Amino acid sequence: MHRTFVPVVAAGSRCMATSGQRLGLATRISRSVPSAVVLPVQRLPVHATAQPPLWRAGARTMAADAGYEASIEQRLIEALSAQQCKVVDQSGGCGQSFAISVESEAFKGKSRLQRQRMVQEVIREEIAKWHAVTIQTTVPADA
Helices 68-80 & 57-64, crossing angle to 10 degrees?
90
Give yes or no for residue 42 having a pLDDT over 70: no
Average pLDDT for residues 36-52, to the nearest whole number? 57
Q: What is the pLDDT of residue 78?
A: 96
Distance separating alpha carbons of residues 81 and 84, to the nearest angstrom = 9
| Residue 89 φ then ψ, to 5° | -80, 110
CA atoms within 13 A on the CB side of 102: 30
Q: Which three-class secondary structure state does DSSP give residue 66?
A: coil
Model confidence pLDDT, tens digit, residues 76-122: 999 999 999 999 999 987 889 999 999 999 999 999 999 999 999 99
Helices 112-122 & 68-80, crossing angle to 10 degrees?
120
Q: What is the pLDDT of residue 65?
A: 60
Give yes or no for residue 4 having a pLDDT over 80: no
